[in-house]
Amino acid sequence: MWIEELSNGKYKYFERYTDPYTEKSRKVAVTLTSKSNQAKKQATLELQDKIQRKLELKEQTNLKLNELLDKWWEHHKQTIRQSSQVNYEKLLKYIKQNINTDALIRNTDTKFYQEFFDSLTQSYEYKKKFRSVLKMALDYAVDLEMIQVNPVTRTKIPRPALTKETFDTVEERYLEDEEMQRLLSVYYSTFQSVHHGRLAEFMYLTGLRAGEAISLTVDDYDREKHLVKVTGTLDYSNGYKDATKELPKTIASFREVDLSNRSIEIIEELILENQVKFNKKTQYLFVGKTGKPIQINSFNNSLKTMNDKLGKDRINKRMSSHIFRHSHISLLAELNIPIKAIMQRVGHADADTTMKIYTHVTKKTKASIVEKLNSKGK
């Protein structure tokens, strides 16, 4: 180490090191206000720290893609709930099996990742998930100065062309009111399926996600204010028997949902029935025969079974628990409820998700347009 006095009275301390990239001699420097023994010790520590960071940067840029993905995942999984971790791990497993993870991250470029995305045979939405994972991992590498630019940023996932089938798919996402009534008539026709029928009707009337509805407890119901408090969702990632209530999907998901008269009737029926059957051994509202919360898979299976029972009146749409949430948004749109009020009610954090459903014009709305146009012609 050597010292140079500056014109402003301060002192600049220098130290040499070997650049790990060029193997040439380089120098680092720090400026202090003194050249006392204490200042020299401080300068030595700071210079050594600078040199060490230069050497570590070289080691980091020699990282392979699989090593980066592991480092990023250890960091990222601490920020998300356990049920989401399972989905991420599936994406990471597929990526590692189908891309050259031995490649050094400093050598990978936009073309490298674009070719991977182009080779995917999954849906447009699923391809976007793969891109999101790799983009986050490479952003992490940029933040840690392992690389200077994220090559995934310039990649593209081509949006599929709109076709008649695309529009048909959109209409399959929600139920018309008459379709809902047909389905409920089958659910309520037998005692064995009533508990699933109540859950379906409740989601249709409130817009709750299935996980939110089945995690509701007696304490979440405010009888005086006629509302339920949405404070969590059930996580089945450790198995049905070990299901636990965890935080909801987003901050916007924490909300209070006002109940219609029919929604209140359903909850009151459930509370009374559960007290008789299980003698307060369960606090959950929507439970099965064992007193444990209804399984989403079981509910989805019942949904398909009930739909098949309709026979020739079968509903030709994608039937899953989420269709009732979409149907509720469409129902509110029919009632001309403002978009912001709908977002707050269903717990959507951004307008895009709500707008996609809000703009779906139902058959009833289409009919009202014609009626209003005909009235103008009179």
Number of structural domains in the chain: 3
pLDDT band at 282 (very low <50, low <70, confident <90, very high): confident
Residue 231 shares a structural domain with residue 295: yes
Residue 269 shares a structural domain with residue 356: yes
CA atoms within 13 A on the CB side of 336: 2
* Domain stop point among 61, 81, 112: 61
167 in any annotated domain: no
Q: What is the pLDDT of residues 349-374, one digit of tens each?
A: 667 667 776 766 556 676 777 777 77
Q: What is the pLDDT of residues 324-355, one digit of tens each?
A: 998 999 889 888 888 889 888 988 766 766 77
Span of 99-103, 200-204, 236-240, 311-315 with lowest mean pLDDT: 236-240
* Domain stop point among 38, 61, 84: 61
What is the C-alpha separation between 147 and 76, in angstroms, rounded?
Answer: 19
160 in any annotated domain: no
